Amino acid sequence: MAFRLSVLDQSPIAEGAAPSDALRNSVDLARLADALGFHRYWVAEHHGTPMLACASPEALIGPIAALTTRLRVGSGGVMLPHYSPLKVAETFSMLSGLFPGRIDLAVGRAPGTDATTMFALQRDRRHGAPDDFPEQLAELLGYLDQSLPPKHPFAHLAALPGLPERPEPWLLGSSPQSGVWAAALGLPYAFADFINPAGAGIAARYRGEFAASRRDAPYVIVAVWAICAESDDEARRLASSAVMTFRLLQRGQLIPVPTVERALRFLDAETAPAARTRRRVVGSPATVRAGLEEVAREYGADEVMIVTITHDHAARRRSYELIAETFGLSAAG
């Protein structure tokens, strides 16, 4: 089956490096992805962690779009419960005006952090934030479409600053409810298989219930965790850094991405087998191609978005180079 290949960048912070190094690495990787022929490049939002640097996708999208020529660039995603829908609409409208036809606005419901940091992000801390994501999403789409009903309290607000250009809205998810919302609203849908590898049925339900409105047909991205190297053994060695990081994350310990050597020592010392709840596609170009094709078939995906975490930025670059090569990507394609 044919599918597009794209990049999801979580801006990993390597042990011994500064968070600012991770942000510069994200810009560097985006330029490489543009040259290699990947279709789109999304940056994630996380808060209060020593592992991932990007707390503001819109702050990275502008520089990345300015330094690339053909990639679609976007958020993977904006965690909407933290923000005013109007502010998000205005920000991404401006980005669309500056980079016409290239900006994606993917939004999610998850906080992207722990409960304490989520509360710190609130402007009003007199009480907890309401769980009103469907209403927030409807308001955001109303601003983007200029379709708020006349009796809506904000219907009179001025047009967005980037018009006539608009970002393409997406819904992110890792659970059934997100797929239901995406289908009902006629939105393209990106599913985080790297969080929940049991999403094929969710994607199938989304396609079956899709109501054509903003799009004529459903569209599914599956986001997959992958590392590619010249051999299966080398890829597994490089993957040990992320394996250690996520093993500790499951125990509530947050750390920068460790060196391979430290990770291997840690994993060798582990006595209790860890429950493997996340899918990893790790290996040589042939192994990774077969793995990504299998996931794409499972989801009936139109696009596979690859997220890669390594300690060494050069290894992450090389992983995407090998994947582009084995799939025959080109900047002109």
Is residue 233 domain-resident? yes
Cα 263 to chain centroid distance, Å, stands at: 25
Is residue 237 domain-resident? yes
Is residue 32 domain-resident? yes
Is residue 178 domain-resident? yes
**Closest to 79 measured CA to CA, from 22, 50, 121, 141:** 121
The C-alpha atoms of residue 223 and residue 205 are separated, in whole angstroms, by: 18
Is residue 246 domain-resident? yes
* Interaxial angle between packed helices 313-327 and 19-36, expressed in degrees from 0 to 180 and rounded to the nearest 10: 20
The C-alpha atoms of residue 238 and residue 282 are separated, in whole angstroms, by: 9
CATH of the domain at 24: 3.20.20.30
What is the DSSP secondary structure assignment for residue 80, as one 8-state letter?
A: G
Is residue 332 domain-resident? no
Is residue 333 domain-resident? no
pTM of the model: 0.93
For residue 158, the tally of other CB atoms under 10 A from its CB is: 6
Per-residue pLDDT of the chain (333 residues; tens, 9 = 90+): 689 999 999 999 999 999 999 999 999 999 999 999 999 999 999 998 999 999 999 999 999 999 999 999 999 989 998 889 999 999 999 999 999 999 999 999 876 566 776 666 667 667 767 778 899 999 999 999 988 888 888 878 778 999 999 999 999 999 999 999 999 999 999 999 999 999 999 999 999 999 999 899 999 999 999 999 999 999 999 999 999 999 998 888 999 999 999 999 999 998 766 666 689 999 999 999 999 999 999 999 999 999 999 999 999 999 999 999 999 998 655
Domain coverage including residue 84: 4-327
Q: Where are the beta strands (DSSP E) in 10-129?
A: 40-43, 72-79, 103-108
Tokens of 194: 């790297």
Residues forming beta bridges with residue 72, ordered by sequence position: 40
CB 52 within 8 A of CB 10: yes
Question: What domain count does the chain have?
Answer: 1
Task: State in Å, rounded, how far the first CA of the chain is from the last one.
Answer: 17
Is residue 10 domain-resident? yes
